[in-house]
Amino acid sequence: MANFLSPEALRLKPYTPGEQPRDQQYIKLNTNESPFPPSPKVLEVVTTAQVGLLNLYSDPTCKVLEDAIAECYGVEPKNVTSGNGSDEVLAFAFRAFGGEGKPMAYPDITYGCYKTWTALFGIESKVIPLQEDFTIDVEEYMDFPGTIVLANPNALTGILLPQEAIRRLLEADPGRVLIIDEAYAHFGAESLAPLTREYDNLLVVQTMSKNRNLAGARVGYAIGSAELIAAVNRVKYSFNPYNVNRLSLIAGKAALEDKDYFQQCCKAICDIRAWTVRELEALGFTVLPSYANFIFAKSDAVSGGDLYTKLRQRGILVRWFDSDRIRPFVRITIGSQTQMEALVAAVGEILKEAEA
């Protein structure tokens, strides 16, 4: 491969998705999917008649979807762009706002793709360690002369950065772009999307994968000033103009419009999360305060690696990252109440074994 590869491709740091084993039926708590099906409205609109129109291209401007997003978040369509999952939208934003003379800063513990995209686009990056308690101290970003990207709630930890801190970052340098990745928004914390009306330098990126139960449809979007959105679209039209397929456009619109179901699902995740945290804490776990559809937890009685392996043997997949600072933890997606009861029971057994 090395002979054919460009030097830039040789330098890449590809992302490793959570495992998708096929050898048995697992309780999958490793990729932060929703345990609930898509909205019934999604099932209504993705009809055989719509499938029959797949010979026609999707609308490259994604109008029906972006109008619905604009409506939902109280902005204009020119303040919205969408993509094939928020991964694509974020990758576009990295190219739009990172490059020569525009380094990017992000925390050491966060979504793994930030490192991947800076490598892909040859963007110099400054990795700023989280505090001891895994929170972000915005003071450390205040003077950074480039683009800042923060997942909020943060990936892996689930910890939320208060809106006030984000306002201060935005105001410290109105010429500096701040990307807030809200993949995990709406599980107990409000989106910062409305702030984009106040700050031209704020890009809020969301996905329908988690809070709108559409991971398999691949729908993500960004909300920001018309200037920032035009910049992201500049990259989109330089990469893949028809980037959202026909069925996902209509599925995404239907999911956005069914606000009751959305709130009901998000609330259920919050309730199940609270239950799970209580149970794990009762078993002696330390659980970081999560505003996401997952928790990040560790126990003094069992290492992260062992817990991952032993849960896997019992048919439960969680995610463990074999890297500094977070090696003792596992990341556990909040599934259905039944799934979490199975998890807690399995954890209890594993701890008993460890004591014996």
For a second copy, the binding residues in 189-228 under the rule CB under 8 A are: 201, 209, 213-218, 227-228
16 counts as binding a second copy under rule CB under 8 A: yes
Residue 251 engages a second copy in binding (rule: CB under 8 A):
yes
Q: Which is nearer to a second copy, 162 or 174 (CB)?
A: 174
CB-wise, 37 or 74, nearer to a second copy? 37
Cis amide prior to 153 (ω within 30 degrees): yes
State the sign of the Cα–Cα–Cα–Cα dihedral 171, 177, 181, 182.
positive
| Range in contact with a second copy (rule: CB under 8 A) among 71-79, 234-242, 336-344, 348-356 | 234-242
**180 lies in the site for a second copy, by CB under 8 A:** no
Applying CB under 8 A, the site for a second copy has a residue count of 88
Q: Enumerate residues 28-57 that contact a second copy by CB under 8 A.
A: 28, 31, 33-38, 42-43, 46, 48, 51-57
Residue 290: closest CA among 185, 169, 137, 165: 185
Q: Which stretch binds a second copy (CB under 8 A): 180-188, 244-252, 266-274, 344-352?
A: 244-252
What token pair was written down for 144? 């950074």
User: What single-letter amino acid sits at 295?
Assistant: I
Q: Which of 67, 124, 245, 336 binds a second copy (CB under 8 A)?
A: 245
Q: Report the site for a second copy in 72-131 (rule: CB under 8 A).
A: 84-85, 87-88, 91, 95-102, 116-117, 119-121, 123
Q: State the minimum distance, in angstroms, from the CB of residue 47 to a second copy.
A: 9
In the complex, minimum distance from the CB of residue 263 to a second copy, in angstroms, rounded to a whole number = 16
CB of 261 to a second copy, least distance (A): 12
Using CA atoms, how far apart are residues 38 and 306, in angstroms rounded to an integer? 34
- Binding a second copy (rule: CB under 8 A), the pick from 74, 142, 163, 237 is 237
- Token digits of residue 2: 């090395």
CB of 204 to a second copy, least distance (A): 15
Q: Which two tokens stand for residue 280?
A: 């794990």
Output 15 or 286, the one with its CB closest to a second copy.
15
Q: How far is the CB of 283 from a second copy (least distance, A)?
A: 28
β-pair type (125-128, 104-107) = parallel
Q: Long-range contact list for 107-112, CB < 8 A, 24+ apart?
A: 107/136, 107/150, 107/154, 108/325, 109/134, 109/154, 109/156, 109/157, 109/325, 109/326, 110/150, 110/151, 110/154, 110/155, 110/156, 111/151, 111/155, 111/156, 111/181, 111/183, 112/15, 112/16, 112/155
Rounded Cα distance between 204 and 27, Å, is 32
Q: Which of 75, 130, 223, 247 is close enough to bind a second copy by CB under 8 A?
A: 247
Please identify, among the stretches 154-162, 180-188, 236-244, 266-274, the one whose residues bind a second copy according to the rule CB under 8 A: 236-244
- Compare residues 187 and 285 and give the one whose CB is closer to a second copy: 187
Contacts of 62 (CB under 8 A, 6+ apart): 81, 82, 243, 244, 249
In whole angstroms, the minimum distance from the beta carbon of 342 to a second copy comes to: 18
- Tell me if 23 contacts a second copy by CB under 8 A: no
Instruction: Tell me if 315 contacts a second copy by CB under 8 A.
Output: no
